[in-house]
């Protein structure tokens, strides 16, 4: 009779060994997928915040190079926004600081140039003898004014991405292109959501949405709208 001997100290057969090795491989692969997915989401979050920091820093550099009566207040507001974004980066585990842009030299005024010539005097404009009569259709009915937010406006800043300014409060926007009080409609083409907001503060971008406005149109977990349509509606 043929006898089968098992090696002393061996707790697994060949079949059991293959099952254990396969289970370990599955755990390693699953862990790698989970880590890869988490890193991709974190990268999108950090990239959106870094882009906002760069735009804000550039806007502040331009303000310092060409100061005006509101420069101090504007710089203080933008610095507070930068501080808040840096807190969000720290909480999200983002590494690395965004380098500030080089300071641009101030623009030379015409008086500083030795070859500058004084502008020629323009002749006074002739006033019409009688003011033109106002058309009865000049004033829109109240019903049409109420629908202004839903109406299509002029598409502006084509190709611009949209992110958040970090400012709290009711839905609003900031812009370095349009004056305060301008009404802008922002549409996220990735989810077809849109919002109409009023420009309340200045920034270095075409349009930045504050936290409340951005929450209305963003995709979950994303802090940057790459495919956006920006329309001026008022």
Predicted pLDDT of residue 142: 39
**What value does the mean pLDDT of the chain take?**
74
**Structure pTM?**
0.44
**Please, which pLDDT band fits residue 21 given cuts at 50, 70 and 90?**
low
Predicted pLDDT of residue 1: 53
pLDDT (tens digit per residue) in 87-144: 888 887 887 777 777 665 655 555 555 555 556 666 566 555 555 555 444 444 434 4
**Please, which pLDDT band fits residue 196 given cuts at 50, 70 and 90?**
very high
Query: What are 75's two structure tokens?
Result: 């710089």
Predicted pLDDT of residue 54: 86
Query: What are 19's two structure tokens?
Result: 């099952």
**Distance separating alpha carbons of residues 70 and 100, to the nearest angstrom:** 22
pLDDT (tens digit per residue) in 23-69: 445 544 455 444 454 556 667 778 888 888 888 888 888 888 988 88
Q: What sign does the dihedral 86-43-218-189 (CA atoms) show?
A: positive
Tokens 């991709």 belong to 40
165, pLDDT greater than 90: no
184, pLDDT greater than 70: yes
* Percent of residues, the chain, with pLDDT higher than 90: 27
Residue with the bigger pLDDT between 229 and 88: it is: 229
Name all contacts of 80-89 with Cβ < 8 Å and 24+ positions apart: 81/56, 81/165, 81/166, 81/167, 82/53, 82/56, 82/57, 84/166, 85/49, 85/52, 85/53, 85/56, 85/166, 86/53, 88/49, 88/166, 89/46, 89/49, 89/50
DSSP for 159-208 reads T--EEB----SSS-EEESSS-TT-EEEEEETTTTEEEEEEEEEE-SSS-E
Query: What are 74's two structure tokens?
Result: 């504007």
Q: Which residues, at least 6 apart from 63, have a Cβ–Cβ distance to it below 8 Å?
A: 71, 74, 75, 78
**Distance separating alpha carbons of residues 82 and 72, to the nearest angstrom:** 15
Query: What are 108's two structure tokens?
Result: 């030379």
**Distance separating alpha carbons of residues 136 and 142, to the nearest angstrom:** 14
List of E strands, the chain: 154-156, 162-163, 173-175, 183-188, 193-202, 208-209, 224-225, 228-232
Helices (H) and strands (E) in the chain, counts: 4, 8
Domain boundaries, the chain: 14-98+146-232
pLDDT (tens digit per residue) in 168-182: 999 999 998 999 999
């Amino acid at each position: 009779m043929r006898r089968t001997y098992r090696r002393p100290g061996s707790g697994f057969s060949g079949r059991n060994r293959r099952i254990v090795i396969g289970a370990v491989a599955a755990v390693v692969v699953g862990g790698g997928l989970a880590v890869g997915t988490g890193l991709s989401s974190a990268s999108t979050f950090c990239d959106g915040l870094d882009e906002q920091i760069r735009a804000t820093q550039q806007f502040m550099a331009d303000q310092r190079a060409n100061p005006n009566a509101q420069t101090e207040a504007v710089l203080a507001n933008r610095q507070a926004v930068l501080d808040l974004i840096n807190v969000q980066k720290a909480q999200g585990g983002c590494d690395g600081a965004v380098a500030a842009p080089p300071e641009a030299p101030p623009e030379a005024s015409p008086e500083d140039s030795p070859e500058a010539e004084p502008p020629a005097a323009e002749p006074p404009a002739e006033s019409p003898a009688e003011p033109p009569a106002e058309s009865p259709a000049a004033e829109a009915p109240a019903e049409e004014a109420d629908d202004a937010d839903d109406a299509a406006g002029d598409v502006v800043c084509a190709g611009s991405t949209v992110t958040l300014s970090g400012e709290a409060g009711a839905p609003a926007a900031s812009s370095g292109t349009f004056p305060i009080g301008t009404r802008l409609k922002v549409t996220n083409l990735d989810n077809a959501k849109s919002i109409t907001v009023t420009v309340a503060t200045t920034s270095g971008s075409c349009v930045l949405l504050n936290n409340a406005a951005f929450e209305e149109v963003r995709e979950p977990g994303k802090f940057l709208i790459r495919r956006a349509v920006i329309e001026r509606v008022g």
